[in-house]
Structure formats: C-alpha cells, structure tokens
Chain A
Amino acid sequence: AQTVTQSQPEMSVQEAETVTLSCTYDTSESDYYLFWYKQPPSRQMILVIRQEAYKQQNATENRFSVNFQKAAKSFSLKISDSQLGDAAMYFCAYMYLTGNQFYFGTGTSLTVIP
C-alpha cells in the first residue's frame, strides 16, 4: 500500500527564519516522484517543488529545498527566509511511474509570525 504521512499537523515560524516540514512515505516501488503542494487561504493548490526518486541531488526552488532520503523514505521541505505569504497548508504527495494516482498526506498548516 502506498501511504504518505505528515506527522506535524501545525507548525509556526518567525518571519525571516527557516522551517522544516516533515514527510515520510511507504512504498515498494523504485521509480516514483515526490511533490510538495501549497494551499493558501484561497484554497488554490500550487506546486512548490518536485523530486524524481532516481535523482540523488535534492531539488531546490529559490527559498524552498528538500531533503530527500530514499532509504529512509523521507522527504522534508525546508523553507528559508520565511515570508508572510508562505502561510498556508502544505501537502506532501507521491506518485509512482507505473501507477495512475497521486497519494497525499494529511497536510501541515504553517503559520508565519511577523
């Protein structure tokens, strides 16, 4: 079974500081993709960053980076220099290449404190 676990229902960070959101997943597949999506108060889902499992190098997108530990099945998101606009629900997601579904975690609600 494919499962995605986000163990932190809520997190908070001071503006300009760094925060890390955790995600673990369970799979027997070897070829898959991992994603972090952001859902702000508007509820529009926005892709933040993706990681291909066959790539060892961690993905980065400006202030967002991931720590991908394939053996540990861990995929955490680091947000540097946090901004007020980063306040949102963040979802970790997984899909395997021969499948046809995305599997989402339950989300982490991030608050940014001015």
Chain B
Amino acid sequence: DGGITQSPKYLFRKEGQNVTLSCEQNLNHDAMYWYRQDPGQGLRLIYYSQIVNDFQKGDIAEGYSVSREKKESFPLTVTSAQKNPTAFYLCASSTLPGRHSSYNEQFFGPGTRLTVL
C-alpha cells in the first residue's frame, strides 16, 4: 500500500536534547513537507523539499533542521535551540505543483506527538 509513515507516534524529550522525527513515503513524490500543529494555530510550515539534497525554510524553521538524502525520506530534527517544541508534527508529500500534477493534493502521515519533559 502506498502512503506516508511517521515514527514514533509519541516522543518524549528532556530539556537540552536533540530528537529526530522520521518521515518516509513510497508514493514516489518529489515534494515533502514538515508542519507543526498547535491548538488554535492550524498548520505552520517548518521546512519543505522539492528535490533530493535541497530544502527550504518555512515560516517557523528556527530550532529545527532537516535532511533529504533520499527521495523517500525527510527526517526532522528538533534541536535544543527550539524554545517550545511540545506540539504535534505532521509530515506531508505531494507531486510538484503543476497543471497536470495529481490534483496538487498533499498527502499526510499520521503525525508524531512530541512532549518535552
């Protein structure tokens, strides 16, 4: 079955630790995205990537880092520099935007809930 997987589902971090959230897709999508979701704030874009070995900052990239070494994988690292990392994190993927792209829809993973202890 094609889809997006995120792991772990729940993650607990101590103050000062870096943690990495996994995102894998087997949809053959070029573009991948990381969002942060907080109550009342919708989805805010952290980073996105349209091609391997290239990625761009979104609206709230400070304190986060990503890599895109393989088309299928787009891991997100939450560093100790992120002041308030407790949130729900969603990964998404899509074809590149275009008139004939597959309806330009974003497909989402099940999310990771990160809690700082």
Residues in A with CB closer than 8 Å to B105 are 35, 47, 50
Residues in A with CB closer than 8 Å to B17 are none
Cβ distance B41 to chain A, nearest Cβ, rounded Å: 6
Encode B93-117 as 1/0 by CB contact (under 8 A) with A: 0001111000111101011000000
Evaluate whether A44 and B110 lie within 8 angstroms (CB atoms) in the complex, with A91-B42, A101-B45, A101-B58 already known: yes
Q: Do B106 and A102 touch across chains, with their CB atoms under 8 A apart?
A: yes
Q: Tell me, yes or no, whether A74 is within 8 Å of chain B by CB.
A: no
Q: Do B99 and A106 touch across chains, with their CB atoms under 8 A apart?
A: no
Among candidates A33, A91, A100, A107, residue contacting B31 with C-beta atoms closer than 8 Å: A100
Give the contact-size bracket for chain A.
Answer: 20 to 34
Give the contact-size bracket for chain B.
Answer: 20 to 34
**Smallest Cβ-Cβ distance to A92: which chain B residue:** B42
Residues in B with CB closer than 8 Å to A105 are 42
Q: How far is the CA of A72 from the CA of B31 in the complex (A)?
A: 31
Evaluate whether A91 and B111 lie within 8 angstroms (CB atoms) in the complex, with A97-B99, A102-B33 already known: no
Residues in A with CB closer than 8 Å to B98 are 97
Q: Do B40 and A106 touch across chains, with their CB atoms under 8 A apart?
A: yes
- Counted as pairs of residues, one from A and one from B, with CB atoms less than 8 Å apart, the total is 54
Cβ distance A85 to chain B, nearest Cβ, rounded Å: 18
Q: Do B97 and A95 touch across chains, with their CB atoms under 8 A apart?
A: yes
Q: Tell me, yes or no, whether B74 is within 8 Å of chain A by CB.
A: no
Q: A102-B43, A104-B42, A106-B41 are in contact. List 18 more A-B contacts (CB 8 A).
A: A9-B40, A43-B88, A43-B110, A43-B111, A45-B108, A47-B106, A50-B103, A50-B105, A91-B42, A93-B106, A97-B104, A98-B97, A100-B31, A100-B56, A102-B45, A104-B43, A106-B40, A107-B40
Name A's B-contacting residues (CB within 8 A): 9, 33, 35, 42-45, 47, 50, 91, 93, 95-102, 104-107
What are 23 A-B contacts defined by CB distance under 8 Å? A9-B40, A33-B104, A42-B110, A43-B88, A44-B108, A45-B90, A45-B108, A47-B106, A50-B103, A100-B31, A100-B48, A100-B50, A100-B56, A100-B96, A100-B97, A101-B45, A101-B48, A101-B58, A102-B33, A102-B106, A104-B42, A106-B40, A106-B42
